[in-house]
Structure 1
Amino acid sequence: MIYAVDNADFKARRLRAVKEDLNTGAATLARKTLEDIIDFSDCCDAADTQELVTELTDLVTQLSAARPSMVSIQNALRRWSDCLENLPADDLKEARRLAQMAAEEVIEELQNAQVDAVAACVKELKDGMTIMTHSTSSSVMSLFNACYQAGIKLQAIVTESRPGMEGRKLARFLNKLAIPTQFISEAQMAYFVPQADKVIVGADSLLRDGTLVNKVGSRLLALAARDSGIPFWVLAESFKHSLTLPEDVVLEEMPEDEMQLEELEKVQVRNIYFDLIPARFITAWVDEQGVRVEFRSLAEASRVPLLAAP
């Protein structure tokens, strides 16, 4: 151990960071929470392995509850938690090392799953295609980069994704890749979607029945795509699969001040950040095992322990 910290302070700071990060996708946040586990395993103030496990379990519980709409965080932490039963009771230093190593292995699993899902999607894209997307997904960013590296020339239509405006991050990224991009508001989605060959979005969660949980505005885009006959694809590795049903989902509501309206006596400001997009609006699901046009076997084929309904 390099140094010890105040355990409660460490947890409070990391929990606050996860809750307040509104511009990072689910996969990246899952990796960040595992990096928190690595840091805490090293610097946690613990007298023995039992105390270390207690403190780590408490941190996992808090991080898992921090972003209920992002199931990859819960699934990644659930996978890592398997190591706790096997930490040596009589060797605290070794217990810290093994906890860190287990987190690094899950991070690698997350990264490999995303790489494989992106590779499966790349095979379905051709020169000259226009891809429309909403919000900023690390998987979608990786998809554009993989196509660029493979010499597949794409064009893009990117929404700004209010509130939060994380679409700007993707637009800047695409500009660096010299990918011709149209940057639009959500209000323009129905007008622009007929120009696309495919709509491809990431996911915060994929539910038992194939329902997508993603940044608010995604359902409107799915409806516009369906109306125009444009395929609507979901690119999401199996760490984002959940056994939860739509009626049990908690859609996160964020601070009112993001809506930029002064306080008005008779006005209630709502800032719900996520949509539920039913499976009937989705043309295909892409994960590390390939492209699927039916969802029924997806959860069964998942490689990770899934978060079940409460």
Structure 2
Amino acid sequence: MAPFWKNASVATILGERVEELRRARNHGGSWMARRAVEALVEIAEEDAASGEELLARLLEAGRELAASRPGVGAVAGAVGRLLAAANRQAQLEPEHLRQLVREEAQALTEGRRRAGASIAIQLQERLKDAVVLTHSASATVREALQHTPPARVICTVSSPRDEGRAFSEELREAGLEVELVEDEDAPKQLEWASLFLIGADTIFRDGTLCNKAGTRRLAEAAAEHHVPTIVACEVIKLAPADPPAEGECELTPVDLLDCIVTEEGTHPANEIRALVDRTPFLREGYALLKR
């Protein structure tokens, strides 16, 4: 069985997508996850002598894709889910395994849409008449805010990429009352905010959050002002692992988070491990990515 890099077409697809993910700075985790899964679907279409050969190719490619953005849980989660589904059916003929990969990729896309809608519905009571501070540019947060426009949204500029500027404009165009503030002025806004709502790059099994730099400082300020910090996060962004060492990404400890809202319900942040442990594809997918 030839290693995947000896197949020029597979190597090209994978190399281009890994580079795209590494360079992506204006897209969120959901977009990156979709692009990673699309690459696996393309790679699955290449000739393979057996289902086992095709699975081996997908596993190697999936590990490369997940490693391209180690701090973005959505990539590892989506890739891991697809690999776990394929691994369970490795005995299939190549064309049947390809069809399974296509169907799982479609299910991931549809699941992402349903997840965002479910999270938005769960947040609607908290958002009614609220003054909401948010940081960075979470697509999940945007969907919730547009579903239930609060009294006012305060967006941070979110340097150094300044994605908060475009995010605030999107909300204004949707008819929301929005104020854009510099990052250094954001903690002061918590004197009159009623909610600090953020997305997530990754949430680890113990509830620790990895997110945009500056999140921890704002969560600390929110705690000082007795403003709840709520994380809107799809299950695919949960990681059945311990958080990395400080410095690899900015970590916000679980004791600064009030709750985590997923498509599976609202969970106290310090109890998220129960959801992680009862979600088989997370455990199976991450195990395959580590081998």
TM band (smaller chain): 0.7 to 0.9
Structure 1 counterpart of 2:124: 122
Matching of residue 243 in structure 1 with residue 240 in structure 2: yes
1:94 is matched by which residue type in structure 2? H
Residues 243 and 56 of structure 1, relative CA distance in 2, 3 Å threshold = closer
1:305 to 271, 277, 282: 282
The count of corresponding residues between Structure 1 and Structure 2 is 277
Structure 1 counterpart of 2:144: 143
Q: Displacement, 1:294?
A: 4.7
Q: For the Cα contact (< 8 Å) 1:198–1:230, is it kept in 2?
A: yes
Cα RMSD between the aligned structures?
2.4
Matching of residue 8 in structure 1 with residue 11 in structure 2: yes
Q: For the Cα contact (< 8 Å) 2:259–2:269, is it kept in 1?
A: yes
Structure 2 counterpart of 1:82: 84
Aligned residues: percent identity? 25
Provide structure 1 residue ranges, at least 5 long, that are not aligned to the other structure. Answer: 253-273
Structure 2 counterpart of 1:55: 57
SS at match of 2:223: helix
2:282 is matched by which residue type in structure 1? P
SS at match of 1:216: coil
Q: Displacement, 1:249?
A: 4.7
Structure 1 counterpart of 2:42: 39
With structure 1 as the length reference, what TM-score do the two structures score?
0.81
Structure 2 counterpart of 1:266: none
2:127 is matched by which residue type in structure 1? L
Structure 2 counterpart of 1:209: 206
1:176-234 deviation line (CA, Å, top 9, x unaligned): 11211111121111222222110100011111221111010101111111122211111
1:291 to 257, 266, 289: 266
Mapped to 1, the partners of 2:246 and 2:209 lie a distance apart of 13
Deviates more, 1:116-125 or 1:180-189: 116-125
Q: For the Cα contact (< 8 Å) 2:230–2:261, is it kept in 1?
A: yes
Structure 2 counterpart of 1:277: 252
The aligned runs of 1:70-219 (5 Å cut-off) are 70-85=72-87, 86-87=89-90, 89=92, 91-126=93-128, 128-147=129-148, 152-219=149-216
Q: Displacement, 1:93?
A: 3.2
1:26-77 deviation line (CA, Å, top 9, x unaligned): 23322221122223323x3545544432322221010111111112221221
Q: Displacement, 1:156?
A: 0.7
SS at match of 2:25: coil
1:129 is matched by which residue type in structure 2? A
Q: Which has the higher helix share?
A: 2
Q: Displacement, 1:141?
A: 0.9
Matching of residue 231 in structure 1 with residue 235 in structure 2: no
1:213 is matched by which residue type in structure 2? C
With structure 2 as the length reference, what TM-score do the two structures score?
0.86
1:75-106 deviation line (CA, Å, top 9, x unaligned): 221111123232565x4333322221122122
Mapped to 2, the partners of 1:250 and 1:204 lie a distance apart of 15
